[in-house]
Structure 1
């Protein structure tokens, strides 16, 4: 039986919802959070892997996303259930995070300048591929910085000098610069 992309996305979203409910049950000390967390995270691993296998062609960024997801799920299991040797998965998760950021920067910064840009209709953006790459990089930096900053703060992670405060600051500054650059590019000339 072949699962369509729409069915895979639906099952992935349901798995994420179950995992979020498991987190809520764990925080509120309600019964059966472990079952919900285990079911949700296993579903995420299975259906994201299916989604990954359905995507063609795959890039280094796709592989690094999959590696980060699997590392995060193992790290999360060991952290939530207070299992021994969790520090190993913390280190693997941090390495996967650095790999994802490196792959993302590589893919965004070294965009093919002759690529067809159907999703961007502005002639000024099409004529300035470096400016487009910089805006993509800033958007990505803002999203990753804010998202991972919250994770680092909530889980009290530190990776050298990088902690939740540093990541949130970087993400919010990148978001502010992105908003300012977007506003200045729309001003009449």
Structure 2
């Protein structure tokens, strides 16, 4: 990952957290779940499009990411309002994801300049993220098997991931002058 400042990083993270909360609401059949998911997908689509067009230089990998996020958001919007042609978006998502994984893959998540120190709090939060992801996967698989504790496990996983995302959003503002490379532009 380069040192280029990420535009609209915080609003995108908040939109993803809202999307996850909307999905959790849909699992529990709470009111306004569909509307929350629709608004979150729309926000992700608009914010990422703005982020893409604000970039000075657009590399091929940037276009691949734009296709992947746009296809994913449109697929979500089409599914929410029960429109056809979601298979087309799913194919675009798969192709762009495979292309992205081949070109950038897990290196995207690595800190190339190794400036961040791994203290105990960071290790525990990363462990929580892994546990949350595993809880979502296990809850989803167990839900397909109609296990009685699948939905609570899925809910716990989603809650942990949302907490992790929101911790990143609000902890970034407290870092202040320590982290110069993590600033962002606001509209």
Q: TM-score, normalised by structure 1?
A: 0.49
Greater C-alpha radius of gyration: 1
Query: More relative contact order in 1 or in 2 (CA 8 Å, sep 6+)?
Result: 2
